[in-house]
Structure 1
Amino acid sequence: EGGTLASANAGPNRNGFQFFICTPKTEWLHGKLMVLGKVKEGMGTVEAIECRGSRNGKTRKKMAIVDCGQI
């Protein structure tokens, strides 16, 4: 069961912030990163985005989320 929303940072005294959604199970996150929530609806959309990704973290084509209401 995937859909875990988590955050990552570069360490103490850093201002950067990134969030990500994991599609596989994420037991490895427990105690390592902050889990913020879980995808309740639209996991199919998350999986469609995942299919367009790459190992370096960039999508193969430009993508945009539009007319979504809320994120």
Structure 2
Amino acid sequence: MMRKRESIRKMLYGVGVIFFSIGLMLMGFYSDLNLFGHTNKLAGVSAFICGVLCLSVSNFFRAPRNKKG
């Protein structure tokens, strides 16, 4: 069970980082990287939000800490 949770967490984290970065590039946050010059800003915002959601959901798939005491 724990291996499955760990692999889901890693996958969500990787996808989240990719969407987060692409969203920032599409919104024009990085002025040096003009890879997507003529795109709609809404596409960037939606990719950014998907990235943030994937990153926050991946945090819930962590292994529980052992509480001694």
Instruction: Report the TM-score, using the length of structure 1 for normalisation.
Output: 0.24
Larger fraction in helix? 2
Larger fraction in strand? 1
Specify the structure having the higher radius of gyration (Cα). Answer: 2
For CA contacts below 8 A with separation 6 or more, give which structure has more relative contact order: 2
Instruction: Report the TM-score, using the length of structure 2 for normalisation.
Output: 0.24
